[in-house]
Amino acid sequence: MTERFRVLVTDDIDPEGVALLRAHPLIEVSEKPTRPAAEVLAEIGEFDAIIGRSATRISRELLQGGDRLRVVGRAGVGVDNVDLATATELGIAVINAPGGNTVSVAELAFGVLIGLARNLPQAWASMHAGRWDRSKLGGVELRGKTMAIVGVGRIGSEMARRARAFGMHVIGYDPYVGPGRFEELGIEPVARLAEALDRAEVLTVHVPLNNETRGMIGAPELARLPRNAFVLNLARGGVVVEDALTEALRAGRIGGAALDVFDSEPLAADHPLRSVPNLVLTPHLGASTRDAQRNVAIEACEAVRDALVTGDLSAAMNATSVGGAGMRELRPLLALADRLGRLGRALVPGALTSLEVRYTGARAEAPRPLLLAALQGAMRDVVERRAINLVNAQHVAAERGIETASTHVDGRGELGEEIELRLEGGERSIRVGGAVLGETHGRIVRIGPFRVDVAPRGVMLVLRNRDVPGVIGRVGTLLGEAGVNIAEYHQARLQVGGEALAAVTVDSRIPQDVIELLAGKPEILEVRQVDME
């Protein structure tokens, strides 16, 4: 019977996104407004996915209570309300929508920047108060000023494009972005945050909130800025230290600032920030446009749908470092790595202690996801409560003390893109290898020292035997008498009369009594059965 999926939608997700879910025949959607945590916890066990915004907290308790839960969707960029570590531990994919609100945030950032440069909030207030304060409200041009962007991701990139259009000089600090991207965006890279601060007439931060970025811009950093600089934080509350910013503004050391995000939201009515001079405050409006809400809802709902229905985790932020089209292009390789992991594990007795992946090909991003896929295959029977997947494979391996490694050999192998796994367990190690031919056609090409050529499908029987006459016929007869149909039979040997290996794919699982009959033959040294589906 075809599997069906239930999705809980909360926090007023845009209808266009929800419609994408409802349109799929395998998905049942339950739309409910933001509710107390206890109510959500009481029913989360009925759902395969939950999609929301920031109002619903996805806690450890909620994740543990979701026995069926596979995916958490966040219609927005930040996942501060999601216990990411627990989700990863449990193999639950966490999907956000990093691209949908990019333009809206950048446009708001430039809006408040222009407001600061031209004193627009003060001008608006004075006009509505019946005054004409033209002489008091002189501003500055943005043209020729230096904007320092901390965090050159999607929003930082959009800020750079707009700054250049205004004739600004743009510098950027981001240790995770390569030189080519800076050049493409017309940004001068700086190696240290301190250098960016020393030169910033406009400082704008566009980074996530984590241990590395919390309190990134505090009193020492603000003291480095040129006098009358502007500071913008439309990223996450906590990146800029609010008390330090308040002091710098009151002392007149910086020209102005704008905050759209805060340490605690909503901002209390009597919060000290509300009385700070030259500080533009907005109530977390960065993504609050009709366009952005529609875009992030569509992006998140599409990704959740694909994760449930096709197993596509390319959008999961806690799965691999490869996303989107790159991940989709890797699917044949990932499938092969998974099957090689299953095969190698079946051939290693005792507890698995290490797994290494060696990839030969042109995709520099491939080794890590291939390692995860190989671990997924090798440990597919070790997780009792939830299925192991690309999200939690590394976590499960670390818990069990399995050492892992991956290497990349650039160029093309003899058979195209090639994967080799080395697995150790007990007192034995084994190497298994495969190749993707014609970009989509995966084959197993090595088992231990033997060269083979067999498709990783159905059920595979691996036999080590003595190279004596009649073995193939006796194996085929025994399987035939048991009603097992052979799809492929590949026999390999190293030398005449020595040890040989047979890789046999069959259409159905072989009964245990038949396996025992095979193992009992004097010429058969070892029998292993591996499920490749």
Tell me how many helices (H) and strands (E) the chain has: 18, 22
DSSP characters for 305-364?
A: HHHHHH---TTBTTT-S--HHHHHHTHHHHHHHHHHHHHHHHTS-SSEEEEEEEEESS-T
Residues 7 and 22: their CA atoms lie apart, in Å, by 10
Fold entry, domain 320-448: 60s Ribosomal Protein L30; Chain: A; (3.30.1330)
Write the pLDDT tens digit of every residue in 438-471. 767 799 999 999 999 999 988 999 999 898 888 8
Q: How far is CA 520 from CA 475, 492, 524, in A?
A: 12, 21, 7
- Residue 98 CA to residue 319 CA, distance in Å, equals 15
Q: Provide the whole-model pTM.
A: 0.63
- For the chain, residues classed under CATH 3.40.50.720 are 5-100+292-318, 102-281
The SS3 call for residue 421 is strand
Whether the ω angle into residue 36 lies within 30 degrees of 0, i.e. cis, is no
Average pLDDT over the chain reads 90
Annotate 421-438 with b (16+ C-beta within 10 A) or e (fewer).
Answer: bbbbbeeebbbbbbbbee
370, 350, 336, 348: which is closest to 462 by C-alpha? 348
Give the pLDDT score at 267. 94
| 273 CB neighbour count, 10 Å cutoff | 18
For residues 457 and 339, give the distance between their C-alpha atoms in angstroms, rounded to a whole number: 8
Does residue 321 carry a pLDDT above 70?
Answer: no
Q: What is 5-100+292-318's CATH topology?
A: Rossmann fold (3.40.50)
Q: How many CB atoms sit inside 10 A of residue 18's CB?
A: 18
Pick the catalytic residue: 284, 408, 443, 490? 284
What are the φ/ψ torsions at residue 19 (nearest 5 degrees)? Answer: -60, -35
The 10s digit of each residue's pLDDT in 16-62 is 999 999 999 999 999 998 889 999 999 999 999 999 988 889 999 99
Provide mean pLDDT across the span 198-223. Answer: 94
The active-site residue, picked from 16, 265, 399, 439, is 265
Of the candidates 70, 74, 154, 236, the residue annotated as catalytic is: 236
Query: What are the C-alpha distances in Å from 333 to residues 347, 368, 369, 372, 434?
Result: 21, 12, 9, 12, 9
Give the pLDDT confidence score for residue 264 in this predicted structure: 92
How does pLDDT run across 132-151, given as a tens digit for each residue? 999 999 999 999 999 999 99
Active site residue 227: no
Q: Which of 358, 352, 419, 359 is nearest to 388 (CA)?
A: 352
Residue in the block written with tokens 């004075």 = 126
E-strand stretches of 448-523: 450-454, 459-466, 486-493, 499-506
Considering the domain delimited by 102-281, tell me its CATH architecture: 3-Layer(aba) Sandwich (3.40)
Give CATH for domain 449-533.
Answer: 3.30.70.260
